[in-house]
């Protein structure tokens, strides 16, 4: 069952998939119905899952799941991963690589490999105050409060002097 993402409970589980490039409006217009179709059919142990999504900054696909009525099972999580992988293939994007860093570079969102981010940190091209996207958050409230944070408040801090 699809629910508007903003109406999901604060303790809803979320998964964030960041694209290695900005998605075009045309791509989003194709992706959104695919996400809605997937969420409509998403189940765990035969129970419909109450889920929502949002696409942020034409770069992040965020899936949310209210686990109060039914929790994600291994099979339902596998189904969501398989769905994301089909989007990767169709749109020639990388959504699953967690070894990439996305951050603000002025008003723009930049995407770098973790290796490049480490090099930039050593060169002082990014700092503890650089706003990063902490894609390790796993609840809606954490996403709202701790997703876009200074690097010093995220796992990225370990790379900054």
One pLDDT digit (tens) per residue for the chain, 161 residues:
889 999 999 999 999 999 999 999 999 999 999 999 999 988 766 677 789 999 999 999 999 999 877 666 677 788 899 999 999 999 999 999 888 999 999 899 999 999 999 999 999 999 999 999 999 999 999 999 999 999 999 999 998 86
Specify the number of domains making up the chain: 2
**Which residue, of 35, 60, 91, is where some domain finishes?**
91
DSSP per-residue string spanning 21-88: SPPPHHHHHHHHHHHHHHHHH-EETTEEPEEEEEEETTTEEEEEEETTT-PPPHHHHHHHHHHHHHHH
**pLDDT of the residue at 62:** 98
Cα dihedral 14, 110, 131, 32 sign:
negative
**pLDDT of the residue at 161:** 67
Q: What share of the chain is helix, strand, coil (3-state, %, to 5)?
A: 40, 25, 35
**Which residue, of 71, 91, 111, is where some domain finishes?**
91
Looking at the structure, do residues 155 and 119 belong to the same domain, yes or no?
A: yes
Looking at the structure, do residues 68 and 15 belong to the same domain, yes or no?
A: yes
Looking at the structure, do residues 118 and 147 belong to the same domain, yes or no?
A: yes
Write out the residue range of the structural domain in which residue 31 sits.
5-91
Looking at the structure, do residues 73 and 104 belong to the same domain, yes or no?
A: no
Looking at the structure, do residues 19 and 77 belong to the same domain, yes or no?
A: yes
pTM, 2 dp: 0.92
Residue 110 to residue 131: CA distance in whole angstroms: 11
Looking at the structure, do residues 56 and 110 belong to the same domain, yes or no?
A: no
Looking at the structure, do residues 28 and 86 belong to the same domain, yes or no?
A: yes
Looking at the structure, do residues 73 and 106 belong to the same domain, yes or no?
A: no
**pLDDT of the residue at 88:** 97
């Amino acid at each position: 069952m699809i629910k508007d993402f903003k109406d999901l409970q604060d303790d809803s589980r979320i998964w964030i998939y960041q694209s290695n490039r900005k998605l075009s409006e045309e791509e989003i217009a194709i992706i959104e119905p695919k996400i809605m179709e997937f969420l409509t059919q998403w189940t765990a142990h035969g129970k419909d899952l109450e889920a929502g999504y949002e696409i942020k900054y034409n770069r992040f696909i965020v899936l949310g799941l209210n686990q109060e009525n039914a929790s994600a099972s291994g099979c339902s999580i596998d189904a969501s991963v398989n769905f994301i992988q089909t989007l990767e293939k169709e749109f020639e994007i990388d959504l699953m690589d967690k070894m990439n860093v996305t951050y603000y570079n002025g008003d723009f969102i930049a995407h770098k490999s973790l290796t490049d981010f480490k090099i930039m940190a050593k060169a002082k091209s990014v700092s503890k105050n650089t706003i990063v996207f902490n894609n390790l958050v796993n609840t809606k409230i954490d996403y709202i409060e701790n997703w876009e944070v200074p690097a010093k408040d995220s796992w990225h801090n370990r790379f900054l002097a």
